[in-house]
Amino acid sequence: MDQEQEDILKYDQGTFHPGFSVDCVIFGFHANQLRVLLLKMKGADVWALPGGFVFKDEDVEEAANRVLQLRTGLDNIFLRQFHLFGKPDRSQPDFNAKLLRQRQIPFAPNHWFLQRFITLGFYALVEYSRVTPRPDTNSEACEWWDLQQVPALMQDHRQILDKALEALRLQLAYQPIGYNLLAEKFTMPELQRLYETILGKQLDRRNFQRKILAYDILERLDERRSGVAHKAPYLYRFNLEKYQQALEQGLEGGW
Amino acid sequence: MDQEQEDILKYDQGTFHPGFSVDCVIFGFHANQLRVLLLKMKGADVWALPGGFVFKDEDVEEAANRVLQLRTGLDNIFLRQFHLFGKPDRSQPDFNAKLLRQRQIPFAPNHWFLQRFITLGFYALVEYSRVTPRPDTNSEACEWWDLQQVPALMQDHRQILDKALEALRLQLAYQPIGYNLLAEKFTMPELQRLYETILGKQLDRRNFQRKILAYDILERLDERRSGVAHKAPYLYRFNLEKYQQALEQGLEGGW
DNA sequence: ACAAAAGTGTTACGGCTACACCCATGC
DNA sequence: GCATGGGTGTAGCCGTAACACTTTTGT
């Protein structure tokens, strides 16, 4: 999709599935911190989750994928829907009208962009270093934000973000996470920091290692991370086959 | 909402949030079997999940609640959204047109009921004995079906049902279940059958009892179930306060 | 009396927790 | 050499699985 087509506000009524949007919480991991990719809205002093609309004949999941691809430059991303936000008052037609005026797009009072929207939230896990953040036509910046320092967000986007984090934590309890967030090779401490950041609590170094190794989804390489201070840690990588298997089967049951 | 208003197909364009529906998988438990409430479509030889549309200014969750209330007569039901089904080819405009003709409702080719629909799936847990199944205006029957004997379903409703069951199993792993499905007083074997049915596997009687009691959400009464063959089992009931607490906190973590 | 179901208890195993100890590296 | 972080090991605890025994009820 080229630049011309990307300017969503110029589309006609009838281009998109009406009253429906997708919003993506894109998680990355950098400097031992979980980060999210946010857009700075033009004119307004608020940030927003990358989102978009679904073409009339497009699969909803595919639309989310498209948004991801446009903002990060990446394809084939781990992406999962987690909640539909459907309160009638979550839309702010006045705010959207302001956007249209700012962009100097003529519009009628019944313009599709001013209707009520319900939105499906997705969360995505990406490898931070491979991402090239790219703003869309309604935003003047696209940047990573530390999860602890997220600025004021548009509409109910803060709620969406919180719910995404909750969903991510839940996933952690019964599925492996990491393949999508880390580089191909990583150390055990790096993986542990990732888990700790998502969970928001400290874990015992030795118990973590034992538990994660017991899942039998990791392969230790004969390499070590050199150049760092202190003892050089081993490098690991995921055994993709076993990783996929664990994703499907779930790690533990409870029952 | 009275009968007049319930005939959804007679509503105008603009009454509902466009291109969007909710479908409910209503689970009940009877005769040691998990059952689902299904509607027999008028004319066609297929069954369907109870569903409906969302009024222009209605909360999506509220709409699902309304559907539940209309089909079961119950209020205040355990209800949870689990997945949005958004493939473009899941709608069948021809089938819907047939429905309109059958109901002898005049319609234009661009009638709202013939557009593409995406649907949000909910699952509900209800107390079987309190339900009074009531068909809607598009269906000639509303009945419970044994999960093992579900007939052919409309469109992608079979998929929706399967996904609901999956979500229910997942919930079982980290939250208590039962308060919404059983009568106020119940025996340990009854609760066990419920768990076994949802999980689709047998559990050890004694270990089950210990584990569920360890959750500390049950109260044993001084009564026993009389009249049944063999030794009379104790009656239990949920401690609602602790039950709610367990719902919120989750039973176990994994991490 | 007997079969079937329910109440209660015991033992062994495995995973988790909370530690201690040694090794490597940069300052 | 010392502080810091990484690799490996171990004892105790607890939940779970797999079992045996007793009690109650209907036939």
Which tens digit of pLDDT belongs to each residue from A67-123? 999 999 999 999 999 999 999 999 999 999 998 898 888 999 999 999 999 999 999
Q: Using the predicted structure, report yes or no on whether residue B197 has a pLDDT greater than 90.
A: yes
Reported as a single tens digit per residue, the pLDDT across B151-178 is: 999 999 999 999 999 999 999 988 999 9
> What is the CATH code of the structural domain delimited by A185-249?
1.10.10.10
Domain range annotation of chain A: 3-173, 185-249
B35 forms bridges with which residues in the sheet? B28, B146
Interchain pair A60, B254: CB under 8 A: no
Q: Please give, rounded to a whole number of angstroms, the shortest distance from the CA of A140 to a CA of chain B.
A: 31
Q: State how beta strands B218-224 and B186-187 pair.
A: unpaired
A1 — pLDDT class (breaks 50, 70, 90):
very low
B2 — pLDDT class (breaks 50, 70, 90):
very low
A contacts of B93 (beta carbons < 8 Å):
none
Q: Please give, rounded to a whole number of angstroms, the shortest distance from the CA of A102 to a CA of chain B.
A: 27
Nearest CA in chain A to B250: A170
| Residue B85: HSE in the Cβ half-sphere, 13 Å Cα cutoff | 23
Q: Please give, rounded to a whole number of angstroms, the shortest distance from the CA of B30 to a CA of chain A.
A: 22
Q: Using the predicted structure, report yes or no on whether residue B92 has a pLDDT greater than 70.
A: yes
As given in the structure block, the two tokens for residue B180 are 């919404």
CB-CB contact of B85 with B160 (8 Å): yes
Give CA separation, B47 vs A21, B40, B138, in Å.
30, 4, 11
Instruction: Tell me if chain B has a CB within 8 Å of the CB of A251.
Output: yes
Give the nucleotide nearest to B233 (CA→C1').
C6
Closest residue by C-alpha to C1' distance, nucleotide C17: A207
3-state secondary structure chain A: CCHHHHCHHHCCCCCEEEEEEEEEEEEEEECCEEEEEEEEECCCCCEECCEEEEECCCCHHHHHHHHHHHHHCCCCCEEEEEEEECCHHHCCHHHHHHHHHHCCCCCCCCCHHHCCCEEEEEEEECCHHHCCCCCCCCEEEEEEEEHHHCCCECCCHHHHHHHHHHHHHHHHHHCCCCCCCCCCCEEHHHHHHHHHHHHCCCCCHHHHHHHHHHCCCEEEEEEECCCCCCCCCEEEEECHHHHHHHHHHCCCCCC
CATH for B3-173, among 3.40.50.2300, 3.90.79.10, 3.40.50.360, 2.60.40.10? Answer: 3.90.79.10
A4 — pLDDT class (breaks 50, 70, 90):
very low
Closest residue by C-alpha to C1' distance, nucleotide C5: B230
**How many angstroms separate the CA atoms of B109 and B115, rounded?**
9
Burial of B118 (0-12, 13-18, 19+ CB in 10 A): buried
Task: Please identify, in words, the CATH class of the domain defined by B184-249.
Answer: mainly alpha
Helix (H) or strand (E) holding B114: none
Interchain pair B87, A60: CB under 8 A: yes
Q: According to the model, what pLDDT value does residue A255 have? A: 79
A233 touches strand D (CB under 7 A): yes
CB-CB contact of B48 with B95 (8 Å): no
Interchain pair A118, B251: CB under 8 A: no
Tell me the residue length of chain A.
255
Instruction: Tell me if chain B has a CB within 8 Å of the CB of A174.
Output: yes
B contacts of A255 (beta carbons < 8 Å):
172-173, 195, 199, 203
Suggest the residue from B17, B81, B90 to mutate for an interface test with chain A (most A CBs closer than 10 A): B17
**pLDDT over 90 percentage in chain A:** 80
| Gyration radius (Cα) of chain A, Å | 20
Q: According to the model, what pLDDT value does residue B102 have? A: 86
Q: According to the model, what pLDDT value does residue A253 have? A: 61
| Gyration radius (Cα) of chain B, Å | 20
| Residue B233: HSE in the Cβ half-sphere, 13 Å Cα cutoff | 14
Mean pLDDT for chain A? 93
Q: According to the model, what pLDDT value does residue B99 have? A: 87
Q: Please give, rounded to a whole number of angstroms, the shortest distance from the CA of B80 to a CA of chain A.
A: 10
Strand D bases, protein C-beta under 7 A = 3-10, 15-20, 23-27
Interchain pair A118, B174: CB under 8 A: no
B contacts of A81 (beta carbons < 8 Å):
83-84
Of the candidates A223, A205, A224, which has an alpha carbon nearest to the alpha carbon of residue A213?
A: A205
Nearest CA in chain A to B17: A19
**pLDDT over 70 percentage in chain B:** 96
Interchain pair A84, B59: CB under 8 A: no
Residues 6+ apart with CB under 8 A from A93: A114, A115, A116
Residue B3's SS3 state is helix
Instruction: Give the CA B32 to C1' C3 distance in Å.
Output: 22
Give the nucleotide nearest to A220 (CA→C1').
D7
**How many angstroms separate the CA atoms of B75 and B180, rounded?**
12
H runs (alpha helix) in chain B? 3-6, 60-72, 93-102, 157-174, 188-199, 205-214, 240-249
Give CA separation, B15 vs A75, A84, A207, B108, B112, in Å.
39, 21, 57, 16, 10
